[in-house]
Amino acid sequence: MQLRHVIVLTAAALGTVAATAQTFKPEDQIKYRQSVMQVTQRSLGALNGMIRGDTPYNKELAVKHAETIANLIAWSGASFGPGTDKGAPTRADARIWSEPDKFKALYDKHIAEAGKLPAAAAGDANTLKAQFAEVTRNCKTCHDDYRSREYRN
Ligand code: HEC
């Protein structure tokens, strides 16, 4: 199933670029993408607790968190569209817009791996752990290259 879903999700994300670029101001897009990253991190934290055994593995809750993550990530690539490099305090590096193909490739990979998280969460703590590692690897890879240390206006 995966590949087809990934393609559909990517297409949906790209479609949103066009739609939201016209609807939302850069300031809104910046706040939106930062909020998505925050919520993603929060849900990943809940999953991490189950993986580490701090909280019991709860399939229903794990799937909900995983779906939240997958859906938000699928939609949020659009918020890095043209013209959203400034407008509100941001740590997005200027290279996102000077090398958009490289950034998009990373984001697409992020969408693809996050898209596999709900199925992994529906298995057991071990399948969740394996896909969690794939998802979180992308956070660091992208932040190293495309997230600045300081906020700028
Ligand atoms: C393809 C690139 C990319 C990936 C993948 C990515 N991020 Fe980010 N992240 C960014 C960029 C760029 C910013 C800065 C956004 C801004 O300030 O406008 C950011 C900002 C953040 C922030 C700070 C938001 C704020 O309030 O300023 C958090 C938290 C965060 N990311 C968490 C994550 C987590 C967790 C993952 C992995 C599940 C992840 N990110 C994956 C690029 C990425």
**CB-facing half-sphere around the CA of 48: CA atoms within 13 A:** 10
Ligand 1 neighbour 73 (Cβ under 6 A): no
Q: What is the pLDDT of residue 21?
A: 46
Q: Hey, what amino acid is at 150?
A: E
Q: Is residue 52 part of a domain?
A: yes
What CATH number has the domain bearing residue 6? 1.20.120.10
Task: State both tokens at 35.
Answer: 């909020």
User: C-alpha 1: how far from its chain's center?
Assistant: 20
Q: Which structural domain range is residue 31 located in?
A: 2-78+88-152
Distance (angstroms) between ligand 1 centre and the Cα of 56 equals 28
Ligand 1 neighbour 147 (Cβ under 6 A): yes
Ligand 1 neighbour 29 (Cβ under 6 A): no
pLDDT band at 1 (very low <50, low <70, confident <90, very high): very low
Q: Is residue 145 part of a domain?
A: yes
Q: What is the pLDDT of residue 6?
A: 47
pTM score, whole prediction: 0.87
For the CA of 40, the closest atom of ligand 1 is 35
State how many domains the chain has: 1
> Which residues lie across from 90 on neighbouring strands?
152
Q: Is residue 60 part of a domain?
A: yes
Q: Is residue 66 part of a domain?
A: yes
Distance (angstroms) between ligand 1 centre and the Cα of 98 equals 18
- Residue 83 gets the label, from left (phi > 0), alpha (psi -120 to 50) or beta, of left
pLDDT digit string (tens) for 108-137? Answer: 999 999 999 999 999 999 999 999 999 999
Q: What is the pLDDT of residue 77?
A: 86
Ligand 1 neighbour 30 (Cβ under 6 A): yes
Return the closest-CA partner of residue 80 out of 65, 62, 102, 63: 102
For the CA of 103, the closest atom of ligand 1 is 1
Return the closest-CA partner of residue 80 out of 150, 137, 20, 143: 20
pLDDT digit string (tens) for 8-50? Answer: 444 455 555 555 445 789 999 999 999 999 999 999 999 999 9
Distance (angstroms) between ligand 1 centre and the Cα of 64 equals 21
pLDDT digit string (tens) for 65-104? Answer: 999 999 999 988 889 999 999 999 999 999 999 999 999 9
